[in-house]
Amino acid sequence: MAEEWAFFEGEYVPISKASVSIKTHALNYGTGCFEGIRGYWNEEEEQLYLFRVEEHFERLHRSARTLRMNLKYSVAELAEIAKNVVARNEFRSDVYVRPVVYKSGAIVGLSMVRRDGDTTVFLPDDFFLFAVEFGDYLDVNEPIKCCISTWQRVDDNVMPARAKATGLYLNSSLAKTEAEENGFDEAIMLTSDGHVSEGSGENLFIVRDGTLITPTPAENILEGITRATMIQIAKDELGIDTVERQVDRSELYVADELFLCGTGAQASAVAEVDHRIVGKGTVGPITGKLMKLYFDIVKGKSPKYADWCTAVYPATVGVTST
């Protein structure tokens, strides 16, 4: 198999050379933040498109700022690194790009700073990025089955919920594992005061009487880029406004439609929550339309949204005979 390439410690290296010490702060304490970016292979154009790559790196910068970490590359530089890593791997299929900012200091002790006389010195941070071929994370053809997790979604004053912090994902991992062990596809997490927050790795929308509803950012959600995409295309393509408000657990049981969306998960209709059939237990009409729009857009098949798609490879010039 061909060597896989990553970006690590400022260089493009074979992935076998990209290793950290077991003493690394981030490995011991979860002091890092990350992104997940999808790239879609467009067979007709022989092109791979990264979806909303700038927005992902803007969020990575916001996460790093929240965690008091230093991300030394600009959004434009990060986008270039992502393109270069995917291109070096010569991927010709759908991919998932994983950039991570992490506390790279090999130091035991919780603080991310140390005192040096009168000054406070931050432990060093570093950045790496790798990419893998990636198929569907959740079923996007058949509706999925969800449960309400016994694990509450992390509270913003426990850990910053809108930062995509590595340590925070223990919360999601526990919820996802519990759901799968109990025979469900995905977990839906509630806030500590019992309102719907989101899936373990996806934002959530319901449809009631033709209205699209999603929990507000104040419900400890990750402010998803797919969520923002859905809100925009629902309005611009279907003329449907989204209401951002608190959602009760039992509203999920009586919703006409329910779907989860996120970069990894893409968009999946939910057929059941806690063994209650949602709507008709099929892909609902609004969900189906949004899913179709979404998949066309991310694959670079929708000229109106071409700005959201960043080509990885140089455009192949069509040969026209005269």
Which residues does the annotation mark as catalytic?
164
C-alpha to C-alpha distance for 54 and 317, rounded to whole angstroms: 26
**From 105, 160, 262, 300, residue interacting with ligand PMP (rule: CB under 6 A):** 262
CB of 52 to ligand PMP, least distance (A): 8
CB of 34 to ligand PMP, least distance (A): 9
- Which CB atom, from 31 or from 203, has the smaller least distance to ligand PMP? 203
User: Contact 219/195 with Cβ under 8 angstroms?
Assistant: yes
Q: Please name the residue that has the structure tokens 């990060």.
A: 78
Count of other CB atoms within 10 angstroms of residue 17: 12
Map the footprint of ligand PMP across residues 27-56, applying CB under 6 A: 36
Nearest to 219 by CA among 263, 161, 163: 161
Tokens of 294: 């979404």
Q: And the tokens for 172?
A: 């999601």
In 3-state terms, the chain is what percent helix, strand and coil (to 5)? 30, 30, 40
**DSSP class of 215:** -
Q: Which is nearer to ligand PMP, 123 or 179 (CB)?
A: 179
The answer to whether 169 and 177 have CB atoms below 8 angstroms apart is no
> Could you say which residues in the range 90-149 bind ligand PMP, by CB under 6 A?
none
140 to each of 143, 270, 301, how far by Cα in Å?
7, 10, 18
Tell me how far, at minimum, the Cβ of 189 lies from ligand PMP, in Å. Answer: 8
Q: Report the nearest approach of ligand PMP to the CB of residue 224 (Å).
A: 3
Q: Which is nearer to ligand PMP, 5 or 51 (CB)?
A: 51
Minimum CB distance to ligand PMP, residue 190 (Å)? 14
**Is residue 284 a contact point for ligand PMP (CB under 6 A)?**
no
Binding mask 189-228 for ligand PMP (x = CB under 6 A): ---------x--xxx------------------x-xxxx-
Q: How many helices (H) and strands (E) does the chain have?
A: 7, 19
Interatomic CA distance for residues 83 and 254, integer angstroms: 44
Measured between alpha carbons, how far is 12 from 80 in angstroms, rounded to an integer? 12
Choice between 5 and 137, CB closer to ligand PMP: 137
- Orientation angle between helical segments 53-66 and 225-238, nearest 10 degrees: 140
Q: Which two tokens stand for residue 85?
A: 């890593």
33 vs 123, beta carbon nearer ligand PMP: 33
Q: Using CB under 6 A, which of 47, 263, 266, 287 touches ligand PMP?
A: 263
Site for ligand PMP in 172-191 (CB under 6 A): 172
Matching residue, tokens 């990553």: 6
Size of the site for ligand PMP (CB under 6 A): 14
Least distance in Å: CB of 160 to ligand PMP? 12
**List of residues contacting ligand PMP (CB under 6 A):** 36, 172, 198, 201-203, 222, 224-227, 262-264
